[in-house]
Amino acid sequence: MIDAGKLTEEFGSLVFNDKVMRERLPKDIYKAVHKTIEKGTHLELDVANCVAATMKEWAIENGATHFTHWFQPMTGLTAEKHDSFISPLDDGRIIMEFSGKELVKGEPDASSFPSGGLRATFEARGYTAWDPSSPAFIKDGSLYIPTAFCSYGGEALDKKTPLLRSMEALSNEAVKMLHLLGYEDVNRVNTTIGSEQEYFLIDKDFYKQRKDLLFTGRTLIGAPATKGQEMEDHYFGVIKPKVSAYMHDLDEELWKLGIPAKTKHNEVAPSQHELAPVFETANIAVDHNQLTMEVMKKVADKHNYACLLHEKPFEGINGSGKHNNWSICTDTGMNLLDPGKNPGENIPFLVFLMSVIAAVDEYAPILRLSVASAGNDHRLGGNEAPPAIISIFVGDELAEVLKGVEEGAAYKSQGKVQMAMGATVLPHFTKDNTDRNRTSPFAFTGNKFEFRMPGSSVSVANANIVLNTAVAEEVAKLYEKLSSYSGDELKEKVMEILKETLAEHKRVLFNGNGYTDEWVEEAAKRGLPNLKSLPDAMPYWISDESIELFTRHGIFTKEEIHSRYEILLENYSKSIHIEALTMQEMVRKDLTEGIIAYEKDLSKEILQKREAIEGAACTLETGILKSLDDASAKMCSALKTLADDTKEAEKKVEALETASYYQSTVLKDMEELRKYADEAEALIPDKYLSYPTYGQMLFSLR
Ligand code: ADP
Ligand code: MG
């Protein structure tokens, strides 16, 4: 258990952060590094050499023997290859070395990372390049250096490079706009992200007994437990002692790595939990989220749990997401999405708010795609999750503000409303300007937007790349319309242009319940896309509109866009392929074994009973046997269909066609098979099954 008194010292103790650099680097070197971090200037080799030497010294003091360039290839996971600091001397001894060159650049053999056709396997060379804006840290005896990853030809092969590019693009456009609006002291604008991470914990032994969880991260069969989440007794419920010990340990590990874990609670589904950090600059937040997921799994293992990060580990109860809280903040400390006291007259706020509204409407399909994965497809449109339609919730006050823009009459704030709870002993406080809306996929929440569609298991880089770029584009468009005006004329023009922009994009605003069928109908009338699956959405990624957007802002080249298209589709098809095979094996072997064993015992029981009681009816036993026989017959036929169609899928070549086939045929077969498999499983006592049931997995945490 962490010593609370020592926490301020322990926080970030494994991080080569600003404080360590300030203490250990010569002043001029520290300044040079700072300039690189703040302004993105190039770092000279002598500076890199000095930083490397200091880093090595610090890392060794903290127990590190190795260093690794840590990067995020397009698998969506992180990658690392470790080199020790040792360098042998002639006399058999060693010295510990780490040069500036080794810090700045790495050359991993990149041939086995997905490149989507950007690089043939024989062109193996890839480079990793140090990202000084995300601090290095120590984990498992290695110094981890966050890096970007690109091919020999300079194409991005990772998630960090385009994210950094998109942050810069948004900053450039925002600074231009702010200068025009009279905020000339702003030099840079930062994207900030807080990503709330949902996860499930289950007993590790249960996890190991299920092939579906081991191979695919989600359960592919499993009759529902007699209790689900209908009592809503888990959400914010008392955290059980063993789970609480896990959460303490997790916090401690994260804090040492400088990850500002802040909030923890039980989520809606049984055995589901959430962790939210304090928000940080986008690229650090993304790195930290990747690390958080890894540490969650590692700490779970120590506590005899398995941490499930899949978007839909269990059928019939809520899945897990990763709410992406997003805002933009100037280097002068101004949050551009903070409405302030008088939002109706807060021009920068209105300009950036409108840019976000326009961006989300205009690029909805690409935004939808940025969160698409085989796992997340199960979640979008499900019970708790937002539907696949993208709309924006702005809340009551902003709705009034926008009405003011529309009608040309600036909205006057009503001031804060006092909240009195009817008992004098309770404190009085001011009420928020708007209630929450849990059903909106993109909700304004006071001074930021919360994008609720991202899935729990994947990097949030993609979502933020698209968001940053789309908003940069809309800010640029507004700038173009306004740049020739100044003074009072500019003020008038701003309101006129905002009104026009609102008229064009207000169809995306929706404050009602996003989970109803009426909304689906209404959204269709408004012309809002409802892209239910990854293959449905994929063509938008390589559309002219998308290519223009990304190339104009220097985020992706056309080739990079196409490579990502190939990788996403391939990844999708492969995931479902593995699921289909795993499901077949589980049904054919594990479930069938249970069915046969139980049937055998039942049949024996009937014979014995009839020997003992002549003419015994055996209604119960024969009834179960009959039901089991019916279910298993249907199961058998569905199994054959799935097996045939999976073989058929293997023959397909073209990426989109293959993915569509997996989506429309193989997934449907799996659903059908599951129906009968679950029907059979529900008839069998637990002891006949070689794997744990839903009830055991979901309700056994202490
Ligand atoms: P809730 O579950 O009620 O939405 P949480 O506290 O779980 O709220 O998560 C809110 C997240 O939003 C936190 O990670 C928080 O740090 C983050 N956040 C707050 N302000 C900003 C901001 N300006 N930019 C980005 N994220 C922010
Ligand atoms: Mg939360």
Ligand number, closest to the Cα atom of 288: 1
CATH of the domain at 38: 3.10.20.70
Kindly give the number of the ligand 1 atom that is closest to the alpha carbon of 327.
24
Whether residues 335 and 358 share a domain: the answer is yes
Ligand number, closest to the Cα atom of 337: 1
* β 126-130/94-96 pair status: unpaired
> Does the structure show a pLDDT above 70 at 283?
yes
For 304-309, what is the mean pLDDT? 98
Whether residues 187 and 121 share a domain: the answer is no
Strand partners, 105: 129
What pLDDT shows up at residue 498?
A: 96
Distance from residue 271's CA to the centre of ligand 2 (Å): 16
pLDDT in tens, 584-641: 999 999 999 999 999 999 999 999 999 999 999 999 999 999 999 999 999 999 999 9
Out of 77-81, 381-385, 634-638, 676-680, pick the least confident: 381-385
How many Å apart are CA 172 and CA 186, to the nearest integer?
11
> Does the structure show a pLDDT above 60 at 383?
no
Whether residues 154 and 169 share a domain: the answer is no
Residue nearest to atom 5 of ligand 1 (CA): 276
Whether residues 145 and 174 share a domain: the answer is no
535 within domain boundaries = yes
* Spatial contact of 23 and 266, defined as CB atoms under 8 Å apart: no
Distance from residue 448's CA to the centre of ligand 1 (Å): 8
pLDDT tier for residue 415 given thresholds of 50, 70 and 90: low
Kindly give the number of the ligand 1 atom that is closest to the alpha carbon of 274.
7
- Residue 355 is which amino acid? S
Q: pTM here?
A: 0.95
Kindly give the number of the ligand 1 atom that is closest to the alpha carbon of 193.
25
What pLDDT shows up at residue 360?
A: 98
pLDDT tier for residue 448 given thresholds of 50, 70 and 90: very high
Token reading at 421: 């709870």
Ligand number, closest to the Cα atom of 266: 2
Boundary residue ending a domain (494, 529, 555): 555
For 313-328, what is the mean pLDDT? 95
Kindly give the number of the ligand 1 atom that is closest to the alpha carbon of 326.
25
Residue 615 falls in which region: left (phi positive, over 0), alpha (psi -120 to 50) or beta: left
pLDDT in tens, 485-527: 999 999 999 999 999 999 999 999 999 988 888 999 999 999 9
Report percent pLDDT > 70 for the chain. Answer: 95
220 within domain boundaries = no
> Does the structure show a pLDDT above 80 at 702?
no
Whether residues 465 and 531 share a domain: the answer is yes
Boundary residue ending a domain (113, 143, 158): 158
What pLDDT shows up at residue 695?
A: 95
260 within domain boundaries = no
The tally of domains found in the chain comes to: 3
How many Å apart are CA 481 and CA 387, to the nearest integer?
34
Residue nearest to atom 17 of ligand 1 (CA): 194
**Mutation pick for ligand 1 pocket among 167, 170, 196 (CB with most ligand atoms within 8 Å):** 196
Secondary structure element (H or E) that encloses residue 635, with its range: helix 619-650
pLDDT tier for residue 234 given thresholds of 50, 70 and 90: confident
Which residues does a 6 A CB cutoff place in the pocket of ligand 1?
192-194, 196, 263, 276-279, 325-327, 335, 447-448, 450
What pLDDT shows up at residue 352?
A: 98
Whether residues 393 and 488 share a domain: the answer is yes
Whether residues 544 and 590 share a domain: the answer is no
pLDDT tier for residue 535 given thresholds of 50, 70 and 90: very high
pLDDT tier for residue 459 given thresholds of 50, 70 and 90: very high
Whether residues 174 and 108 share a domain: the answer is no
236 within domain boundaries = no
For the packed helices 592-612 and 667-683, what is the interaxial angle rounded to 10 degrees? 30
Residue 320 falls in which region: left (phi positive, over 0), alpha (psi -120 to 50) or beta: beta
Whether residues 520 and 440 share a domain: the answer is yes
Residue nearest to atom 7 of ligand 1 (CA): 276
For 651-662, what is the mean pLDDT? 97
What pLDDT shows up at residue 658?
A: 98
What pLDDT shows up at residue 414?
A: 67
DSSP state of 281: E
How many Å apart are CA 661 and CA 687, to the nearest integer?
38
542 within domain boundaries = yes
Residue nearest to atom 13 of ligand 1 (CA): 194
What pLDDT shows up at residue 119?
A: 63
What are phi and psi for residue 599, nearest 5 degrees?
-60, -40
94 within domain boundaries = yes
For 447-461, what is the mean pLDDT? 96
DSSP helix/strand/coil, 438: coil
- Residue 88 is which amino acid? P
For 144-161, what is the mean pLDDT? 92
Whether residues 629 and 508 share a domain: the answer is no
CATH of the domain at 692: 1.20.120.1560
Q: State the average pLDDT for the chain.
A: 93
Kindly give the number of the ligand 1 atom that is closest to the alpha carbon of 338.
23
Residue range(s) defining the domain that contains residue 524: 165-195+321-415+432-555
Question: Considering only CA atoms, which of 309, 376, 302, 272 is closest in space to residue 698?
Answer: 272
229 within domain boundaries = no
pLDDT in tens, 39-48: 777 888 999 9
Boundary residue ending a domain (158, 181, 207): 158
564 within domain boundaries = no
Ligand number, closest to the Cα atom of 437: 1
Distance from residue 380's CA to the centre of ligand 2 (Å): 18
pLDDT in tens, 560-573: 999 999 999 999 99
Whether residues 625 and 688 share a domain: the answer is yes
* Spatial contact of 159 and 76, defined as CB atoms under 8 Å apart: yes
> Does the structure show a pLDDT above 70 at 93?
yes
Whether residues 525 and 612 share a domain: the answer is no
Which residues are in the CB-under-5-Å shell of ion ligand 2?
Answer: 196, 276
